[in-house]
Amino acid sequence: MRFEQYKIATELKRALDEMGFKKPTDIQYKAIRPILEGNDVLGVAQTGTGKTAAFAIPVLHKLMYVKNRPDKRQTKCLVMVPTRELALQIAKVFRELGKYTKLKITALVGGVEQEHQIEQLANGTDVLIATPGRMFDLLHQQKLDLNKTEILVLDEADLMLDYGFIKDIQDVIKFLPDYRQTLFFSATINSEIKEIAYGIVRNPIRIQISPQDPVSKNITHFVAFIEMDDKRFFLERLVVEHPESKILIFVRTKVRAERVAAAMERVKVKTLTMHSGKDQSERAEIMKAFASGEVRLLITTDLNARGVDIPNVDYVVNYDLPDEAENYVHRVGRTGRGVAKGTAYSFCAPEEKEMLKEIESYLGKPIHVLEIDKETYADTVVFTDEVNNDNWQVLLRNAEQEAAERKTKKKKR
């Protein structure tokens, strides 16, 4: 079935056609009709499968035909998400899909001044995409009114739980009318999520896509066994050998992100870093530069592992394996999105092998090992400009710092 066959507004079909969306993905095919019919939906689908459009298309269609427009400070649809980046990304999708409608889309996030957001809300908005902190700030200031909200969407629900937003999910219900449509979307499902979901939805249509394989089939992934202190050399080689590729690199901490970026800068590889230490204006500029291809290397923490659709990422590199096996799926899902193909590499140090076992257990299958013979390994270390520039003292000092950092983290655990 193609989008042109759906009973949705011609304005939406026109936007979908311009965006190159001809046929729905599995989650879209199974979710759009129940949402249009007014059902509550509990949707579970791996990252990169088109969850946002799965609820945005039917929500926009329904809002085009509501009898009453939103009044002052009100919204007809609230989309609640865990991070600023995800809120901005979802707002972008709503705006692109709704470009030929007269619906007003507003993103409400922290890290920026409130005044402009309050002005946007003053005359009401059709769709409000919000993070919990700023949303509750404006609710308590009586700058936002949810008592006429007809649709509630909770997106990336499992991440909201990870971030400690359980109480926020429960509290927002107190501000909403009893009669509403609730759409609950998550990349994973467990007993805790089920308990919360079934506490706020009514007789939902449950949709679960590809639960047997949490990683998209569009992604080819490999693991390479590399000593912790040699990872930078292999990253440099990957970057130098793929100069036109867009590469997203995941590390564990913001300190680690800056340290790896500094190592790349020393060998004249231009990089960007993204983590919780950046303010919202910095984050926006960084994402713009990376998305446009102005800078092709972005080193980030798990802040960018979920929900954010970065176009045309050729490679994902797990420079550090994640602390949680589930996050592997979300990280590698930043490539191979939609119909595109992608490749993910994981650099596994000896002390990370237990984590690798957990990841493979979670996936239900082994990750293909990229065999590196001794000669190739040695050539890669010699290959680096950093070594050839005789920066051994810098290397040793950084290695000692990283070892101390790992030791401290292990003690805390």
Sheet holding 368-369, edge to edge: 272-274, 297-300, 247-250, 315-318, 342-348, 219-225, 368-369
Which two structure tokens, joined as six digits, stand for 409? 């983290």
Q: How far is CA 284 from the centre of its chain?
A: 15
Q: What is the mean pLDDT of residues 121-137?
A: 94
C-alpha neighbours within 13 Å on the C-beta side of residue 161: 17
Provide the terminal-to-terminal Cα distance of the chain, rounded to the nearest Å. 51
More confident residue, 283 or 216: 283
Q: Is the pLDDT confidence value at 48 over 90?
A: no
CATH code: domain of residue 223: 3.40.50.300
**Is 384 contained in some domain?**
yes
**Is 256 contained in some domain?**
yes
Nearest of 330, 306, 321, 329 to residue 357 by alpha carbon: 321
- 323 and 350 in a single domain? The answer is yes
**337 CB-near residues (< 8 Å, 6+ apart):** 48, 216, 218, 309, 313
**Is 326 contained in some domain?**
yes
β-strand partners of 41: 183, 205
User: Of 156, 187, 208, which residue is a domain's last?
Assistant: 208
Q: Quickly state the pLDDT bin for 312 (edges 50, 70, 90).
A: confident
- 181 and 239 in a single domain? The answer is no
- 199 and 225 in a single domain? The answer is no
**407 CB-near residues (< 8 Å, 6+ apart):** none
Q: What is the mean pLDDT of residues 330-346?
A: 84
Q: Quickly state the pLDDT bin for 380 (edges 50, 70, 90).
A: confident
Q: Is the pLDDT confidence value at 9 over 80?
A: yes
**Is 214 contained in some domain?**
no
Q: What is the mean pLDDT of residues 382-400?
A: 51
> What range does the domain containing 380 cover?
219-412
Q: Maximum CA pair distance of the chain?
A: 72
Give the DSSP per-residue string, 276-320: TTS-HHHHHHHHHHHHHTSS-EEEE-GGGSSS---TT--EEEESS
- 307 and 256 in a single domain? The answer is yes
Contact 280, 110 (CB under 8 A): yes
Nearest of 86, 317, 133, 150 to residue 223 by alpha carbon: 317
- 294 and 164 in a single domain? The answer is no
Q: Quickly state the pLDDT bin for 277 (edges 50, 70, 90).
A: confident
Number of structural domains found in the chain: 2
**pLDDT value for 78:** 98
**pLDDT value for 249:** 95
Contact 252, 323 (CB under 8 A): yes
Contact 141, 91 (CB under 8 A): no
**Is 213 contained in some domain?**
no
